[in-house]
Structure 1
Amino acid sequence: MAISKLETDRLILRKYEEKDMEALFLLLKDEEVNMFLPWYPVNDLDEAKEFYKERFANREYYFAICLKEDNFPIGYVKVDTDDSHDFGYALQKECWHRGIVTEASIALVEQLKKDGVPYITATHDINNPRSGGVMRQIGMRYCYSYKEQWQPKNYLVTFRMYQLNIDGEGDRVYQKYWNMYDTHFVEKNL
């Protein structure tokens, strides 16, 4: 049975609902929040609703991040269910640097462990090192870097790929991006 709600000391993680579209719009329209995400900021509420339908609706591990005090979405945390088990997140910039995404992510990883998900992967642009900081704080480890002509924004990006083997199989490394892109390498001292 799919989990629809998780709680931490400060947070409620729950599914987005129709009543949350304004909150999602506030997150998706912010250029700074969406600078390193694989889409352009939305322009209006209708685009936010369409984004929700295409990317969030009916996804097992996609959760709104809400503070317990008001249960109003201030961000999201998600893991895809394909072979990458891609982990991602976004948070309103007014809430940055308070450990909120880390707290939400730890709760989600605990649920994934209970559900038998073997690993998660995540990537970040080298120009967004704070995102890598979140990945390390939840126990992910750096595996490799690769260069991609990033779409839809169409510019060259160097990504760092991190992985957390939830099942404890320490030697497993997800190779898809390594194999997909000609320019790939392991950075020292990461």
Structure 2
Amino acid sequence: MEETKRFYEERYAAKYAQPQAYAYAICLKEDNYPIGYIKVDMEEHHDFGYGLRKEFWHKGIVTEAGKAVIEQVKKDGLPYITATHDRNNPRSGGVMRNVGMKYQYSYEEQWQPKNILVTFRTYQLNLDGNESLVYKKYWDTSAVHFIEPNL
């Protein structure tokens, strides 16, 4: 319990204190038991992120929760959201596409804390109708960036 409390305090307490923060537990409808999380950061990138206990993967749960969260942030006036996933985890990209996000570009980053080179794929969903906007910070800060065909 102490470890869980520290994790909450370090990762989420400040977000819940913000007037417009999006960090939620994903719970099963039948018993309201938490099985994961979903969030949209309020920083410039408006990063959409999620995690789910492995035994609940591949059931459409994150897609369902993601659509609800996206509807709320759109209603609240966020102009866009972004998300990235490791190219070696293509199912995460499937979730991004399932909630309406579109692939924009890929970039390499020396990922910490494991200190390994990772190719990330960046997705974006524009919520304000400006379809030409692309969040390019990862592109601009990465020495290696490219667009993968057929994604």
Q: TM-score, normalised by structure 1?
A: 0.75
Show structure 1 runs of 4+ deviating over 4 A.
none
Q: Provide the rounded CA distance (Å) in 2 between the counterparts of 1:95 and 1:80.
A: 24
After TM superposition, give the deviation of residue 163 of structure 1 in Å: 0.3
User: Which residue of structure 2 aligns with residue 179 of structure 1?
Assistant: 140
> Which residue among 93, 108, 125 is the counterpart of 1:147?
108
Query: Shift of residue 49 of structure 1?
Result: 2.0
Instruction: Output one character per residue of 1:47-76: Cα deviation in whole Å (capped at 9) or x when no partner.
Output: 332221111114220000111211111101
Q: After TM superposition, list the pairs within 5 Å mapping 1:27-106 onto structure 2.
A: 45-59=1-15, 60-106=21-67
- Equivalent residue number for residue 18 of structure 2: none
In 2, Cα distance between the equivalents of 1:50 and 1:180? 32
Q: Give the deviation of 1:168 after TM superposition.
A: 1.4
Structure 1 gaps of 5+ residues are 1-44
What is the CA RMSD across the aligned residues, in angstroms?
A: 0.9
Give the % identical residues. Answer: 67
Separation in structure 1 between the aligned mates of residue 13 and residue 149 of structure 2, nearest angstrom: 39
- Mapped partners of 1:182, 1:75: distance in 2: 34
Distance in structure 1 (CA, Å) of the matches to 2:70 and 2:37: 14
Q: Return the alpha-carbon distance in structure 2 between the equivalents of residues 72 and 162 of structure 1.
A: 30
The alignment partner of 2:2 has SS state of helix
Query: Of 66, 70, 81, which residue of structure 2 is paired with 1:109?
Result: 70
Q: How many residues are treated as equivalent by the alignment?
A: 146
- Report the TM-score, using the length of structure 2 for normalisation: 0.94
Alignment partner of 2:106: what SS? strand
Give me the whole-angstrom Cα distance separating, in 1, the residues matched to 2:150 and 2:30: 41
Q: Report whether the alignment pairs 1:157 with 2:113.
A: no
Q: Matches of 2:113 and 2:59 in 1, distance apart?
A: 30
Runs (5+) with no aligned partner, structure 2: 16-20
Q: Which amino acid aligns with 2:101?
A: M
Q: Shift of the alpha carbon at 1:93?
A: 1.0
| Structure 2 Cα separation of the partners of residues 49 and 156 of structure 1 | 32
